[in-house]
Amino acid sequence: MNGLSSNNAPHPSVVKPHFIFGSLALLVLSVMIFLADTTLLGSYFDSKMIAITHMAVLGWATMIVFGALYQLIPVVFETSLFSEKLAKFTFWMAGLGVLLLTYAFWIGDFTGLLPYAALLMFVSLLLFVVNVILSYKDSKKKNISSRFVITAVGWLSVTELIGTLIAFNFKYNYFTEAHLHYLKIHASIGLIGWFLMLIIGVGSVLMPMFMVSHQLDDKKLERSYYFINFGLLVMAVNWLFIHFEKITPLFWLSIVTGIYFFISYVYDSYKKRIRKVLDIGMKHTMISVLSIFLPVIISLIILFGIGMDSMLLLRTTTLYGFTIIFGLITTIILGQTYKTLPFIIWLEKYQALVGKTKTPMPRELYSEKIADLQLLTYLFFIIFMIMGVLLNQIWLVRIGSYLLLAVAVLYNINVFKIIFHQVKKKV
């Protein structure tokens, strides 16, 4: 855990609000899924489904990622964050943008509120990107992990630009293709270019650190980087300008090959670990890495699922997005929260007391029993939701929504327990 400590680390007031907002956003997200009900078995481009997706990827995942990344920039880049004031301003702008954007989608206000909410979100994400890029400029450590992170930030810019153009197109109608075509590009670049690339970049630093693994082959990360980015770039250019469907298997294979090299790297890290027992955070992380196989398999089915029933194809596509957002992204965020946030708060509360009195371990700042129950409940949520969507059974989806609500409550209890921890001196 000492690897997370740095003289360049930002003040906790930069990081903590992101975890608070993200935690509450997960709670709101679970309520939205509960209220959406039968919509979850319908079209994935229904306005409520799009609202749920944006609350998941922006309000929940991206907000937590922003906070964590501000703390990790000194570790990954070996430099301080360019501007803490800009980070705080970005937080408030992004928070407002998330709420307005989600509300606009939820009520279906595509020509009134949506374009301006999207523009607000775009500016806030652009400010984040500028802050990270200027931090990277002064970096002393431009290795493959930092390259993954800075490239992910670049893909985030592209994702949000396309999303903003889609939002304004509802009002001004300038696109030559249907909205759904650009929505596919927007989602794919966001999930693969932003989230997957970031997970690999940060994960390649944190996983060996937390498992205490040494002598790993960074060439696997290099190969992963080039294969994923080549596939993603070919996909984006083809879908935007060329429209040659026959090369789809090419970029699919390139991205999957890149994922394979990352999984191989994680497997090596797991095999060579000195810390044999995995704590609750690393259990989440390993489950998340294994879950990558689900969207890969589902995407293969969609790719070659010629002749599939149209409604089954819609549900399969929904399932593809679900397995990425909840199988991969949410699982790793839930786990890494228990690795990063307790240490951030521990540093704030106890760093000055080290050597003067006995201090608790970072893991003592939260309830491990609640975290264990959260993981078990979350696994059941995944199972019920996948079964419900596959079998087209709303009662299974409803059970899944109750389980996610329970997960959100348990997670919030632990997060707020950590953040509002009161100093305890052991004598």
Q: Tell me: pLDDT of 427 over 50.
A: no
Question: Does residue 426 form part of some domain?
Answer: no
Task: Give the tens place of pLDDT for each residue, 262-271.
Answer: 999 999 999 9
- Can you name the residues that pair with 426 across neighbouring β-strands? 358
The rounded distance, in Å, linking the Cα atoms of 321 and 254 is 19
Question: Does residue 194 form part of some domain?
Answer: yes
Mean pLDDT, the chain, rounded, equals 92
Question: Does residue 74 form part of some domain?
Answer: yes
Question: Does residue 186 form part of some domain?
Answer: yes
Question: Does residue 79 form part of some domain?
Answer: yes
pTM of the model: 0.93
Q: Are 396 and 388 in contact (CB under 8 A)?
A: yes
The rounded distance, in Å, linking the Cα atoms of 342 and 305 is 45
Compute the residue count for the chain.
427
Tally of CA atoms within 13 A in the half-sphere of 38 that contains its CB: 0
Task: Give the tens place of pLDDT for each residue, 294-325.
Answer: 999 999 988 877 667 777 888 888 899 999 99
What does 306-322 look like in DSSP terms, one character per residue? Answer: TT--HHHHHHHHHHHHH
Q: Please choose, from the candidates 152, 42, 60, 162, the residue with its C-alpha nearest in 3D space to the C-alpha of residue 102.
A: 60
Question: Does residue 333 form part of some domain?
Answer: yes
Q: For 289-295, what is the mean pLDDT?
A: 95
Question: Could you give the number of structural domains in the chain?
Answer: 1
The rounded distance, in Å, linking the Cα atoms of 340 and 240 is 38
DSSP-derived 3-state class of residue 52: helix
Instruction: Provide the domain limits for residue 16.
Output: 2-419
Q: Tell me: pLDDT of 134 over 80.
A: yes
Question: Does residue 424 form part of some domain?
Answer: no
The rounded distance, in Å, linking the Cα atoms of 366 and 416 is 9
Sign of CA dihedral 103, 104, 106, 107: positive
pLDDT category at 261 given cuts 50, 70, 90 is very high
Can you give the CATH number for the domain in which 37 is found?
A: 1.20.210.10
Beta-carbon contacts of 121 under 8 Å, excluding residues fewer than 6 positions away, are 58, 94, 97, 98, 101, 160, 163, 164
Instruction: Supply the pLDDT for residue 178.
Output: 85
Question: Does residue 251 form part of some domain?
Answer: yes
Q: For 59-72, what is the mean pLDDT?
A: 95
